[in-house]
Amino acid sequence: MTMKFSVSIFAEGDRIITLEEVVELADAVAIYNGLATGAGTTGYGAQIIVEAPSSDIAVDAALVLFNEAVKKANLPAFEIIKAETMSEDQDWEDALEQ
């Protein structure tokens, strides 16, 4: 059984990322219902929606898509420092607790 996961990935490097570069990354992840961040910082990130049977597999799948999007956006290959997931179920549980 698979479920949808929202995977947030952030990479950090040695130079400031421009707004134009983040827009390019946002365009590249849009096909995965994604969004991008990082303008004015020394890194960039994206949130990507994937379907997978587990959180670990969701991260693996999202990392492949993220790296493809980074190449498509012509961004430098910075070191990935964080990858976090949230499943549909977790999202609902968090909403109900509030």
Q: What is the pLDDT of residues 33-72, one digit of tens each?
A: 999 999 999 999 999 999 999 999 999 999 999 999 999 9
Distance CA 11, CA 39 (A): 12
Full-model pTM? 0.88
User: Using the 8-state DSSP alphabet, how is residue 78 labeled?
Assistant: P
The yes or no reply on domain 3-97 and CATH 3.40.30 is no
The H or E element spanning position 92 is helix 88-97
The answer, yes or no, to whether residue 96 has pLDDT greater than 90, is no
DSSP, residue by residue, 2-45: -EEEEEEEEEE-SSPPPHHHHHHHHHHHGGGT-EEE-TTSSEEE
**Would you state the pLDDT for residue 91?**
56
**Would you state the pLDDT for residue 88?**
77
User: Using the 8-state DSSP alphabet, how is residue 53 labeled?
Assistant: S
